[in-house]
Every structure is written in structure tokens, then in C-alpha cells.
Amino acid sequence: MAQKVIAGVTVDVTEEGYFTNPAQWTRELAAEIAKEEGVQLTDKHFDVLNFIRERFAKGEALTIRSVGNSGIIDIKGFYGLFPGAPMKKAAKVAGIPKPASCI
Amino acid sequence: MKKLLILGAGTGGTIMANKMRALLERDEWDITIVDQFRTHYYQPGFLFIPFGMYKKDDVVKPKTSFLPVGVNIIFQEIDRIDGMNNHVLLKDGISLNYDFLIIATGTRVVPEETPGMKGPLWHKQVFDFYTIEGALALADFFKTWPGGELVLNIADMPIKCPVAPLEFVMFADAFFVERGLRNKVNITYVTPMSGAFTKPRASKVLGNLLAEKNINILSDFYLERVDNVKKVLVSYDEKEVPFDCLVTIPVHKGDPLIGRSGLGDEMDFVKAHKHTLQSDHFPNIFVIGDAGNFPTSKAGSVVHFQADVLTENLMCAIENRPLTDAYDGHSNCYIETGFGKGALIDFNYDTEPLPGSFPFPGIGPFGLLKETRMNHYGKLMFRWIYWHILLKGKEMPIDSKMTMAGKKM
Ligand SMILES: Cc1cc2nc3c(=O)[nH]c(=O)nc-3n(C[C@H](O)[C@H](O)[C@H](O)COP(=O)(O)OP(=O)(O)OC[C@H]3O[C@@H](n4cnc5c(N)ncnc54)[C@H](O)[C@@H]3O)c2cc1C
């Protein structure tokens, strides 16, 4: 397993940079990872990140649509916060493993 | 009399009615099954209809033919489940009590979720093949289509039988080659996933197959709307894909009754335990098949494997024992690749599809994750097995738990 030093803290990550242990996540780390992705975090970002972390903790599937239906933000807004590939970027910043869409 | 109530008489409901009627004493247990429609559709057959390989008659039979004697059948739309009071309300106002409830109401396609999808071009140049109506309309369209941009789009995951869209484009390739039109038809596979498939090794093999067949892949495309005037698909990040014929796999949801009953997630899939199949809300409610929020394929093979586990666990619950059986996510799909060949994948929650042979190590007769003629016959045979063995809940020579025997790491 790979490790990465973010803002002076060592965390366990996959080769693609996704956390393997969500417990290692902090708001400060999130801000650093977001910067690497070219994203400046706002309160709205954190609302979304918290939702994603809660859902993950409950073992529930995560999709762009489920975030869009969360009542926190719509899909267009989600793309606005994390441009390009919102689910993947948000998962990385939220410190959870890469969401595999169910097959 | 105690009461077992089954909601939905599709693949899962029918199998469970057969299995449980064989196990529960007739003078102690009343079994009732409810469905809104009288016709049972062999859904995997829908894939073959647009290409004229199956007709409507090949995929429909009356539901009653597959349900055993001693099971009450009610044809009526279900309105809601009242889990607190152990009863189910039907649309016509009838209320049914239960001691145990099995939810098997499946999933449905909801083209209305995507703006413009059900616009003026619906079933004229925009088709689905996940409903009998869509598959038949597309068959008609293909009869005289001179060619152009053929685009297959998956609106979102999860979908039923996630390999069916891949099979569709490979069939389309073979179909237009045989018609001498392939040079006039450009085929593009547009998906919200990062590749042809989600699991890495299968994605690579299947991606290569598409490339060999000259089928383009556009990945990470998340559909926002269909523009009927410009005839383009538009993604949330404003990418556009032009089409002359769009074959869409619309957004899938559970039945609205699940939402009304407060038992589902925001897509109306029943929240349930992925190993025990028990509802997260009530210990006397269980779920099978497409209706659940299980992180595995929505497929007939999954329903079949889950049925063994559910039978076991339901008996445990009925006899007041801890639930002993656990579903491992086992799924098994034949993949039609065109020109009389097919591939096969076998996997579960933790193990991705791997190469090898199936079900007998080293012998097969089926090859895993490779194209063979035998795999194609497997898929064709599946229709017979489905009607005659699977729905009746009879034993098959495949274990409900996935095995590593015969697989190569
Ligand atoms: C094009 C296509 C290709 C496929 N190919 C394959 C394949 O190759 N291999 C494979 O294994 N699987 C395949 N599948 C998937 C397979 O058909 C399904 O996964 C399986 O049938 C699911 O069974 P189920 O019992 O969960 O739901 P279903 O069989 O869909 O049954 C649900 C039932 O519930 C009833 N119902 C729902 N809501 C209500 C209500 N409110 N009131 C009353 N009744 C209600 C419905 O009428 C229906 O009869 C394919 C599916 C499609 C569409």
C-alpha cells in the first residue's frame, strides 16, 4: 500500500491517491487535496463532503445522482464544485475509497 | 394460518413462491403473491428483438404457468407497505396481512428522469430496448434504416444486466456487417463509467473487443438532457454527442411504492443487508433481486443465487433462529459478442471477473472472460433453463456461492 505526506501528515492511499482509511481524514487534509485537484473548498463543499462520508460510513452506494438527490446540491451544482469528474474528485477529497459504480 | 406475502411475480417472486411452497406446510402457511401484470417477460430476450433474432412470442408467457398450486395469486397494483402494522395496501383498497414479507418488485426504467428523452423523437429516433415496446419499435426502425450515427448511451448506473449494452453494440456491429451497411453505420458507446465495464480486468478485455470491432467508446459522459432539435446528447459538463439513432439505457429506479412505504433510498431501492437480504427497517421483511440496494449486478443470475440464501434465512427467521446464510454477491453473466460467439464472467462482491473455465475447473465447458462459440450456446440455452428450471426454483449444477476453482489469478 502506498503512503503520501499531505500537509506534513502521512496517510495511507491507493496508487491513484484515494484514502484507504477514511479515519485518517481531517478538514485540513481535505483542503490540501482539493488544492491539488484545483479546487478551493467552501462551506458548500464541506456540506457535500460530509454527506459523502456519512453515506460511505453506512456502506451505501454513492453515485452522482445520489448526491444530486441529497437535498444539499443538484447535479449541475455538484459539477460546479468539482468540475470534470465530480464523484471521483469529491471521493478523493472526502478521504474515502474510489466509488465503484455497482455492476 | 400464518401468512407469507410476496410482492412481485417476476423472476425473484416466482422462484420464491415455488421454493417456499415446497417447504412450508400447507395447513400452517398461506402463501400469496401479488403482481400488477399477468404477463411474464423473459427480459434477457429483449436484447435479441431489435435484430430480428427473437419475436415477441419468444419472450412472453402467462405468469400463472410458473406459479405452483397452493399459492394465491392476486393481480392488482400494490400501493404501499405498512411495516409497523404488518400489512400491505393494494390500489383497490384491499389490505393484506402478513407474518413475513418478501419484496421482489424489481426495477424499472424512468426515461422521464432525463429532460428531452421522452421528447418528439421518442420511439422514432430515440429508443430503449429494456422494455418490450422499445425493443419492438427499434426492430421496426432497423428494418429500413439506411445508416448514420448509432449511439448507445447509459444514462446512469445501476442498470439491469450491465453487460446488455455491450452486447447490444456488438450485435449491432454483426447485424450491420451482415446487411452490408457497416461502412455507413458509425457505432459509439457512451458511458458514465471510466471504461467499457467497471471491474478492471473485464473492462480491459471488453474494451479491446469493442476496439477490434471498430466501436468507439466515450467514457465519463454523464447525461443531462437530450436535445431533440439538434439531435445531440448533452452532458452535465456541456459535452455533446450527435446521433441519428439513439439507443438509451434510461435511469433505473425501484418502484415508487417503496418510497411511499419509507423503505427505500432516494432511488426507491429497498435498503437491505447485502449478506442476509433482510430489510434495514423490519426483521420480518426480506428483499430479493433488482428491488434491493445491493452493490452487485441487477441480474437474473443474482436473483437465482439470492433465492437459495433467502430460502435458508427465511426458514431461520420463521423458526426463530439467527440468520445463518450469507449472500456473497455472486453474479454470473453470459455476454453475447456477435457472429455466434460469446464470453462469460463470474464474480462476487470481493472478486472481480477472472479468466479460466466454468463451472468445472479445467474442463468448462464454458470459458471465462474469453470469446468462444460454447458461451454463445450457453446464453441461448439460458432461455430454456429460465422457463423450465430457474423460475420453478429447481436445483441447478451451479453453487450459489462463487468459487475460485477454475479461475486464474
Ligand atoms: C435487456 C435486458 C437483458 C437482460 N439480460 C440478462 C442476462 O443475460 N442475464 C441475467 O441474469 N439477467 C439479465 N437481465 C436482468 C433480469 O431480467 C432481471 O435482473 C431479473 O428479471 C430481475 O428479477 P426481479 O424478480 O428482481 O424483478 P422482475 O422480474 O422485473 O419482477 C418485478 C415484478 O414486480 C412487479 N411490480 C413492481 N411494482 C409493482 C407494484 N407497485 N404493484 C404490483 N406489481 C409490481 C412487476 O410487474 C414485475 O412483474 C436482463 C434484463 C434486461 C432488461
Average pLDDT for residues B12-23, to the nearest whole number?
A: 98
Q: What percent of chain B has pLDDT over 90?
A: 84
B407 CB near ligand 1 (under 6 Å): no
pLDDT band at A43 (very low <50, low <70, confident <90, very high): very high
Average pLDDT for residues B384-397, to the nearest whole number?
A: 89
pLDDT band at A103 (very low <50, low <70, confident <90, very high): very low
Q: Would you say residue B179 has pLDDT above 60?
A: yes
Residue A102 annotated to the active site: yes
Alpha carbon nearest to ligand 1 atom 19, residue: B299
φ, ψ dihedrals at B309, nearest 5°: -65, -45
Size of chain A in residues: 103
pLDDT digits over B215-235, tens only?
999 998 999 999 999 999 999
B40 CB near ligand 1 (under 6 Å): no
pLDDT digits over A75-101, tens only?
999 999 999 889 989 999 999 988 765
B298 CB near ligand 1 (under 6 Å): yes
Residue with cell 419475436: B55
Best residue in B191, B266, B267 to probe A by mutation, most A CBs within 10 Å? B266
Q: What is the mean pLDDT of chain B?
A: 95
> Which residues face A2 on adjacent strands?
A13
Q: What is the pLDDT of residue B362?
A: 84
pLDDT band at A1 (very low <50, low <70, confident <90, very high): low
Top pLDDT among A83 and B409 is at A83
φ, ψ dihedrals at B389, nearest 5°: -120, -50
Q: Would you say residue B172 has pLDDT above 90?
A: yes
Cα angle: B395, vertex B293, B308; to 5 degrees: 15
Alpha carbon nearest to ligand 1 atom 8, residue: B44
Q: What is the pLDDT of residue A85?
A: 84
Top pLDDT among B204 and B14 is at B14
Q: Which of B143, B179, B175 is nearest to B336 (CA)?
A: B175
B46 CB near ligand 1 (under 6 Å): yes
Q: Would you say residue A102 has pLDDT above 60?
A: no
Q: What is the pLDDT of residue B270?
A: 97
**Does residue A21 belong to the interface with chain B, where contact is any CB pair within 8 Å?**
no
Alpha-carbon gap: B155 to the closest alpha carbon of chain A (Å)? 10
Residues of B in contact with A102 (CB under 8 A): 157-158, 198, 294-297
**Are the C-beta atoms of B170 and B187 separated by less than 8 Å?**
no
Residue B76's Cα: distance from chain center in Å? 23
Alpha-carbon gap: A9 to the closest alpha carbon of chain B (Å)? 30
* pTM of the predicted protein model: 0.94
Q: Would you say residue B311 has pLDDT above 90?
A: yes
pLDDT digits over B80-128, tens only?
999 999 999 999 999 999 999 999 999 999 999 999 999 999 999 999 9
Top pLDDT among A69 and A24 is at A24
Homologous superfamily of domain range B111-251: FAD/NAD(P)-binding domain (3.50.50.60)
**Closest ligand 1 atom, residue B76 Cα:** 43
Question: Cell triple for residue B146?
Answer: 439506411
φ, ψ dihedrals at A93, nearest 5°: -70, -30
Domain boundaries, chain B: 2-106+255-318, 111-251, 331-390
Homologous superfamily of domain range B2-106+255-318: FAD/NAD(P)-binding domain (3.50.50.60)
Same fold, B2-106+255-318 and B111-251: yes
d(C-alpha A99, C-alpha A65), whole Å = 13
**Does residue A64 belong to the interface with chain B, where contact is any CB pair within 8 Å?**
yes
Q: What is the pLDDT of residue A101?
A: 58
pLDDT band at A16 (very low <50, low <70, confident <90, very high): confident
How large is the ipTM?
0.82
